[in-house]
Amino acid sequence: MKILAIELHRVAMPLVRPFQTSFGTQLARDVLLVRVRGSDGDGWGECVAMTDPVYSSEYVEGCERVIRSYLGAALLAAPEVTAETVGDLLSFVVGHRMAKAALETAVLDAQTRASGVSLGEYFGAVRTEVECGVSVGIARSVDELLDEVGGYIDEGYRRIKLKIKPGWDLEPVRAVRELIGETPLQVDANTAYTRADIGHLRALDEFGLLLIEQPFVEEDILSHIVLAEAIETRVCLDESITNAEVAVDAIGRGATSVVNVKAGRVGGYLEAVRVHDVCAELGVPVWCGGMLETGVGRAANVALAAMENFTLPGDTSGSSRYFAEDLTEPFVLRDGRLAVPTGAGSGVEVRDELVREWASREPIVLR
Ligand code: NPQ
Ligand code: MG
């Protein structure tokens, strides 16, 4: 279809509780939403970048800037755009995968809506619902952590993921393992450790964790290889895996034996599907990561997680984990699972009036 206009909306979404990680404490989600107006209809995409470049080099204002100055014009100038050609049309810009992903997702939503196909069908989903895990931030005390985790267990979450960092690892993990018994448990360090910590991290083996996610900086593949050889617990890369080729390389070198897939991190859902596929070929299970998405991004994540090789519960939590009210109909857990939307496109309707009401600035329209 022809892209007639691209709208950039900014919405401030307060979180139901602060989310603390090794890179800081988030009080709100600063969301950049992209709406493409196409000749065949409209579509939405959510940009997963954070306000500040403390988790990834990309950040919200930077994504907006690169879309306004480069990416938007490339799509608007093309006589014909499909989700399958967005990657090539935008490849003249190096990096900026989260910004590119938001645009590609909006085109994909418009295109699949227009043809009456759901994202699940488009991706080749093999299930109608997905098992849900929840990511739990660093707490002020172990007691408060146990309160929070206990609440999630009561809500039916099937897997707990704890954020860890030096000084907040063995003690909280031991306490949560005692609280939740056999419930699957994993940890995410968001690059907070160095190779000198490998001896210490080996002590995590006694807790029967599903995996340890991204202990070292994203460029440091070698330390992940060394850890994987020293520890029983599976090593899982998140930040390091920027496309399917990198996934093949990291798996081949023994740095990761399970992979966190996030569409924003790899430049879009089409590349996320390729990551899924190469991992499946190599016998490596994947799971769907999360970036505190509103219903817009959550809908697409749930569809992705319905693919065959997504065999571990994802960070695909219910809307209420993060937001009192969502920008779409809320995602609600049933028996620890979320239903894969079946409607055309992402299958959810964006509540325009909320996007307008909660906007932190006027929308920017590119034509
Ligand atoms: C991760 N996500 O797996 C990320 C980290 C993360 C659910 O743990 C705003 C935007 C806040 C993106 C906080 C989860 C965020 C964010 C944490 C990503 O590494
Ligand atoms: Mg992670």
Q: What is the pLDDT of residues 299-309, one digit of tens each?
A: 999 999 999 99
Cα-to-centroid distance, 264 and ligand 2 (Å): 13
Q: Which of 100, 161, 165, 262 is catalytic?
A: 262
pLDDT tens readout for residues 203-239: 999 999 999 999 999 999 999 999 999 999 999 999 9
Sign of the torsion formed by the C-alpha atoms of 60, 63, 66 and 71: negative
| Whole-number pLDDT of residue 251 | 99
Looking at the DSSP assignment, which residues form a beta bridge with residue 31? 11
148 within 8 A of 331, measured Cβ to Cβ: no
pTM over 0.85: yes
Q: Which of 100, 161, 163, 165 is catalytic?
A: 163
366 within 8 A of 16, measured Cβ to Cβ: no
| Percent of the chain whose predicted confidence (pLDDT) is above 90 | 100
| Whole-number pLDDT of residue 239 | 98
Residue 59: exposed, middle, or buried by beta-carbon count in 10 A (0-12, 13-18, 19+)?
buried
Cα-to-centroid distance, 312 and ligand 2 (Å): 14
How far apart (Å, rounded) are the C-alpha atoms in residues 129 and 229? 35
**For the chain, where do the domains classified as CATH 3.30.390.10 start and end?**
3-116+350-366
Own/partner contacts of 235-240, CB < 8 Å, gap of 24 or more, are 235/211, 236/186, 236/211, 236/212, 236/260, 237/213, 238/188, 238/190, 238/213, 238/214, 238/262, 238/265, 238/289, 239/56, 239/190, 239/191, 239/214, 239/265, 240/214
Side-chain half-sphere CA neighbours of 94 within 13 A? 1
pLDDT tens readout for residues 312-360: 999 999 999 999 999 999 999 999 999 999 999 999 999 999 999 999 9
Looking from the CA of residue 289, the nearest atom of ligand 1 is: 3
pLDDT tens readout for residues 26-74: 999 999 999 999 999 999 999 999 999 999 999 999 999 999 999 999 9
The yes-or-no answer on residue 262 being catalytic is: yes
Give the pLDDT band (50/70/90) at residue 260. Answer: very high
Cα-to-centroid distance, 291 and ligand 1 (Å): 4
The fold for domain 121-339 equals TIM Barrel (3.20.20)
**For the chain, where do the domains classified as CATH 3.20.20.120 start and end?**
121-339
Using CA positions, which residue lies closest to atom 19 of ligand 1? 190
Alpha carbon distance, N-terminus to C-terminus of the chain: 15
Sign of the torsion formed by the C-alpha atoms of 208, 209, 210 and 213: negative
| Whole-number pLDDT of residue 324 | 98
| Whole-number pLDDT of residue 272 | 99
How far apart (Å, rounded) are the C-alpha atoms in residues 71 and 144? 44
327 within 8 A of 359, measured Cβ to Cβ: no
| Whole-number pLDDT of residue 137 | 98
105 within 8 A of 116, measured Cβ to Cβ: no
Pocket of ligand 1 from Cβ distances under 6 Å = 19, 21, 26, 29, 50, 55, 135, 188, 190, 238, 289-292, 315
Query: What SS3 state is found at 58?
Result: coil
| Whole-number pLDDT of residue 25 | 97
pLDDT tens readout for residues 96-131: 999 999 999 999 999 999 999 999 999 999 999 999
Ligand closest to Cα of 160 equals 1
Q: Mean of the pLDDT values across residues 14-19?
A: 98
pLDDT tens readout for residues 244-254: 999 999 999 99
pLDDT tens readout for residues 156-189: 999 999 999 999 999 999 999 999 999 999 999 9
Distances (CA, A) of 7 to 33, 43, 288, 366, 367: 8, 10, 27, 6, 9
| Whole-number pLDDT of residue 299 | 98
Give the pLDDT band (50/70/90) at residue 297. Answer: very high
CATH 3.30.390.10 fits 3-116+350-366, yes or no: yes
283 within 8 A of 256, measured Cβ to Cβ: no
Query: What SS3 state is found at 130?
Result: strand
For a ligand 1 pocket test, name from 19, 50, 186, 291 the mutation site with the most ligand atoms within 8 angstroms of its C-beta: 291
Query: What is the number of other CB atoms lying within 10 angstroms of the CB of residue 107?
Result: 26
